[in-house]
């Protein structure tokens, strides 16, 4: 048995233990591994993650993101959401109006 260092759970495993597909599923072209930036607009907020390993098709330009990377990204979004919930005081708080501006 091989020991793999995984920081995610519950991902379906391929029966044939190929690491990653290296041909484009759309056109069959060859894929180039690259780091990309992922962006997701959710709930009025833009989530952004950099340096996601992805595969770019050299033939049709399609971007293929490994499922684990998508999970990482979704996890990051969840963490950000939780953080925002944990700090309700960071939400727009009305400033106390103490000083009255008197005419000079
Ligand atoms: Zn392609």
Going by pLDDT thresholds of 50, 70 and 90, the confidence category of residue 94 is low
How many Å lie between the centroid of ligand 1 and the Cα of residue 28?
6
How many Å lie between the centroid of ligand 1 and the Cα of residue 22?
11
Q: DSSP readout, 39-55?
A: EEEETTEEEEEEEEEEE
How many Å lie between the centroid of ligand 1 and the Cα of residue 30?
7
pLDDT at 29: 95
In a domain, 7, yes or no: no
In a domain, 80, yes or no: yes
pLDDT at 31: 93
How many Å lie between the centroid of ligand 1 and the Cα of residue 8?
28
How many Å lie between the centroid of ligand 1 and the Cα of residue 13?
23
Range of the domain at 59: 31-86
CA distance 18 to 84: 39
How many Å lie between the centroid of ligand 1 and the Cα of residue 102?
69
How many Å lie between the centroid of ligand 1 and the Cα of residue 3?
33
Tens of pLDDT, residue by residue over 3-25, are 443 333 233 334 444 555 589 99
Report the CATH number that the domain containing residue 70 is assigned in CATH.
3.10.20.860
In a domain, 13, yes or no: no
Tens of pLDDT, residue by residue over 57-92, are 999 999 999 898 899 999 999 998 888 876 655 555
In a domain, 26, yes or no: no
pLDDT at 21: 56
């Amino acid at each position: 048995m091989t020991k793999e260092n995984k920081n995610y759970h519950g991902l379906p495993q391929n029966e044939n233990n190929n690491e990653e597909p290296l041909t484009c599923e759309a056109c069959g072209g060859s894929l180039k591994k690259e780091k990309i930036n992922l962006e997701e607009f959710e709930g009025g907020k833009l989530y952004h993650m950099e340096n996601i390993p992805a595969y770019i098709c050299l033939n049709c330009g399609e971007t293929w993101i490994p499922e684990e990377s998508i999970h990482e990204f979704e996890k990051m979004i969840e963490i950000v959401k939780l953080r925002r919930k944990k700090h309700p005081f960071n939400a727009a708080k009305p400033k106390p109006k103490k000083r009255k501006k008197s005419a000079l």
